[in-house]
Homo-oligomer: A and B are copies of this chain.
Amino acid sequence: MMKTLLKRKPTLEVNLQPIGRRIEVPAGTNLLDAARLAGVELVAVCGGEGTCGTCRLRPVSGQLSPRTLTEEAELSADDLAAGYRLACQAAVLSDVRIDIPPESFTTPQRLQLEGQEIPTELDPLVVPLEIAVPPPSLGDLRSDLTRLRDVLAALGHADLRFSLPVSADLPEKLRANNWRIRLAIRDDEVVAILHPISLVTRHPSLSTLYGLAVDVGTTKLAAYLVNLETGETAAQAGAMNPQIAYGEDVISRITYANEHADGSKILQAKLVEALDHLLGDLCAEANVSRQQVVEAVIVGNTAMHHLFVGLPVKQLGESPYVAAVGEAMQFPASQVGLELAVGAYVYLPPNIAGYVGADHVSMLLGAGGAELFEPRRSEERKGNFNKPSRLRGKTIVALDIGTNTEISLFHAGRHYSCSCASGPAFEGAHISDGMRAAPGAIERVRIEGEKVKVHTIGGGAAVGICGSGILDVVAGLLEAGLLDKRGVLKGNHPNLRVANNTKEFVLTPAERSSIGRELKVTRQDVNEIQLAKGAIRAGIEILLEEAGIEDQDIELFIVAGAFGTYLDLESAIRIGMFPDLPRPRFEQVGNAAGSGARKLLVSKQQRRLADEIAREVNYVELAVHPDFMKIYVKALAFGL
């Protein structure tokens, strides 16, 4: 059979996730060798002898050689049941898609966690209250809950609600702590019963209330454990979104959910499992029990939001692409299988539209919050104010670039937003040697005369090229006159050549790449960037037109998110993706959605603001905007 395959199709594609690297290999190549050919180093302690069991990975689709006796000996029963294979044992018999678990990589993924810390007044929804309750006797037979309620009523807390799990936790907690307990009160409901501080003086942190904030990206997860009583971030951790194995972008996840029985449930379970794992790490790092984690805030785009929550996504994938729920949501964490304090809630900020999700709302909070919406104060206008606000009353663009790029414009007290289909080019997809921003990815390129300088993530040999690297290449080619406005490669350069009837620009010679051949950018790759940057610039221009202003009126241009942090601003301006504003007007703010999620955790005021943002926004649907095509075509041209 292998012979037939070899004859029919000499090479097969191996798609390595979650890093997004693809490689063509001869049929029969084992996955360890395929990964090496792709420049991806897997943990393989025994060097591929099949004796260490470390090069575990999971095939998602396609056909591999049958399981060997070695694999049955080395893999656990759970792993075997889940379909895991050893890379050194499994040979490729068709195009395959492989999910590599984090522990099988030799180098960790780059995960964007840091965002600007903008001080927020501590005003959490969940607050502690420590009380003593009189024990029962034959002369006082009130139920445990009744006697607690009576004490609470005397303290002015009548009518607090107790969910079933919290009620069930009460008898043991009262008796174990000598009838003194610390309650976590969320608005009108008790969500957890903790040990009293007085009994745990040696470990006072065991009584402290914590919250979990997570930015669920299509690609990456960023999780934060926040002390709700001080507002401090006690621990943070990142991970890849395990749903990548089921589809790299939002559309393919929606398709997976629609086309597989229990597809949605599988995607939800994978995500919750990853969050649960992250929470375990965070709690261990901060020496905190899960029972102290009394609230969670989850932000994500509308599809990630719906998949996490368990809302159907079918209608998100069909015109007119509407969300099932736009409003902010809150429900017991146990309803999605997230194990926090017994009565803890999950809160998700509102979605603006099918493709402007809760993560955009959270990003706006993280990048500025209330000041984005406030008019300039009179003293600032007169210029006689010592420190004028960075944001207040200004004309501001804030965007987060991804497969869909969400853009907001604040001007004259109004908020406009849109989503543009920028495509996956900046994620490394649809690019011949593209990959995600993982170790080995070329992230910086400079064309200096005949020299081409590249820098890889981690500094080692090049595996592929990621979004910021491609952006630099296109900007450098333009600067060097090797690319015209229409996207045509031209002129002469030692690295510019014709291959397969198309022009391509070589970035690294074979000996400096880890995949045994040159890495290059093709005409087709340049066109992918052209489409992406055109969509983004057109989105900005449409919002400016809606507000009746021009590029140069933008006083502050906020670029959020991981790609936004690593991209070279000059390159983005050079190719015309961003308008050519004075440089101090740009701010690259990191993971603002994560910062916003943390603010939502500790501030009721921020939650009210989130509702207000979603309610007051002027959402502009580009698909039906009369000027969109005209502006888009104009925005496709490269140049300042």
Residue of chain B at shortest CB distance from A149? B327
Of A14-22, A162-170, A486-494, A534-542, which binds chain B? A162-170
Query: Which of chain B's residues have a CB closer than 8 A to the CB of A336?
Result: 164
Whether B164 contacts A314 by the Cβ 8 Å rule is: no
How far, in angstroms, from A309 to B164 measured CA to CA in the complex?
Answer: 8
Contact B325–A145 (Cβ < 8 Å): yes
Q: Are A141 and B621 in contact (CB under 8 A)?
A: yes
Stretch at the interface among A131-139, A362-370, A522-530: A131-139
The number of chain A residues touching the other chain, given as a range, is: 35 or more
The reply to whether the CB of A329 lies closer than 8 angstroms to some CB of chain B is yes
**Chain B residues closer than 8 Å to A322, beta-carbon distance:** 136, 141-144
Q: A164-B309, A164-B335, A325-B143 are in contact. Are A314 and B171 (CB under 8 A)?
A: yes
Which chain B residues lie closer than 8 Å to A331 at the CB level?
Answer: 163-164
| Nearest CB of B to A636, in Å | 23
Determine whether the beta carbon of A168 is less than 8 Å from that of B138.
Answer: no
Given A144-B324, A324-B168, A324-B171, residue A138 in contact with residue B319 (CB < 8 A): yes
A624 to B137, CA, bound (A): 11
**Which residues of chain A in 353-378 are interfacial with respect to chain B, using CB atoms and an 8 Å cutoff?**
353-354
**Chain B residues with CB under 8 A of A163:** 331
A327 touches B171 (CB 8 A): no
Q: Please, how many angstroms separate the alpha-carbon atoms of A142 and B310 in the complex?
A: 19
- How long is the Cα–Cα vector from A624 to B138 in the complex, in angstroms? 7
User: Which of A136, A175, A324 has the most chain B CB within a 10 Å cutoff?
Assistant: A324
The answer to whether A327 and B141 touch (CB under 8 A), given A167-B311, A312-B171, is no
Interface centre among A144, A164, A331, by most B CB within 10 Å?
A164
Chain B minimum-CB-distance residue to A615: B146
With both chains docked as a complex, state the minimum distance between the C-beta of A520 and any C-beta of chain B, in angstroms.
Answer: 40
Determine if B619 and A143 form an interchain contact, defined as CB atoms under 8 angstroms apart.
Answer: no
Residue A46 at the chain B interface, CB threshold 8 Å: no
How many copies are assembled?
2
Inter-subunit contact A624/B325 (CB<8 Å):
no
Contact code string A118-141 (vs B, CB < 8 Å = 1, else 0): 000000000000000000111111
Asked if A175 and B353 sit within 8 Å, CB to CB, the answer is no
Q: How far is the CA of A470 from the CA of B459 in the complex (A)?
A: 92
Query: Which residue of B175, B315, B325, B619 contacts A167 across the interface (Cβ within 8 Å)?
Result: B325
**A635: interface (CB < 8 Å):** no
For the complex, give the distance between the alpha carbons of A313 and B122 in Å: 40
Chain A 35-67 interface 0/1 with B at a Cβ cutoff of 8 Å (1 = within): 000000000000000000000000000000000
**A355 CB to nearest B CB, Å:** 9
Contacts of A146 in B (CB 8 A): 325-327
Known: A167-B325, A175-B315, A310-B168. A320 touches B136 (CB 8 A): yes
Interface: A321 (CB within 8 A): yes
A143–B353 alpha-carbon span in the complex (Å): 7
Q: Is the CB of B141 within 8 A of A324?
A: no
Contact indicator B329/A167 (Cβ below 8 Å): yes
Residue numbers in B under 8 Å from A171 (CB-CB): 311-312, 314-315, 324
Q: Which residues of B contact A640 (CB under 8 A)?
A: none
Complex-state Cα separation, A619 to B143, whole angstroms: 13
Residue A456, interface by CB 8 Å:
no
Say yes or no for A172: interface residue by CB 8 A criterion: yes
Q: Which of B142, B168, B311 contacts A312 (CB 8 A)?
A: B168
Q: Please tell me if the beta carbons of A315 and B144 are within 8 angstroms of each other in the complex.
A: yes
Among residues of B, the one whose C-beta sits closest to the C-beta of A143 is B326
Contacts of A312 in B (CB 8 A): 168, 171-172
- A89 located at the interface, meaning its Cβ lies under 8 Å from any Cβ of chain B in the complex: no
**Which of B141, B324, B353, B624 touches A320 (beta carbons < 8 Å)?**
B141
Residue of B nearest to A163 (CB): B331
Convert A159-200 into 0s and 1s, putting 1 for each residue whose CB lies closer than 8 angstroms to a CB of B. 000111101101110010000000000000000000000000
Q: Which residues of B have CB within 8 Å of A310? A: 164, 168
A351 close to B (CB within 8 Å): yes
Per CB-CB distance, the 4 closest pairs between chain A and chain B, nearest first, are A143-B326, A143-B323, A164-B331, A145-B325
Query: Can you give 30 A-B contacts (C-beta < 8 A)?
Result: A138-B623, A139-B624, A140-B320, A141-B321, A141-B353, A141-B354, A141-B619, A141-B621, A143-B322, A143-B323, A143-B324, A143-B326, A143-B327, A145-B324, A145-B327, A162-B325, A163-B331, A164-B309, A164-B310, A164-B331, A164-B335, A165-B335, A167-B311, A167-B324, A167-B329, A168-B310, A168-B311, A171-B311, A171-B324, A172-B314
- Chain A interface (Cβ < 8 Å from any Cβ of B): 136-146, 149, 162-165, 167-168, 170-172, 175, 309-312, 314-315, 319-327, 329, 331, 335-336, 351, 353-354, 619, 621, 623-624
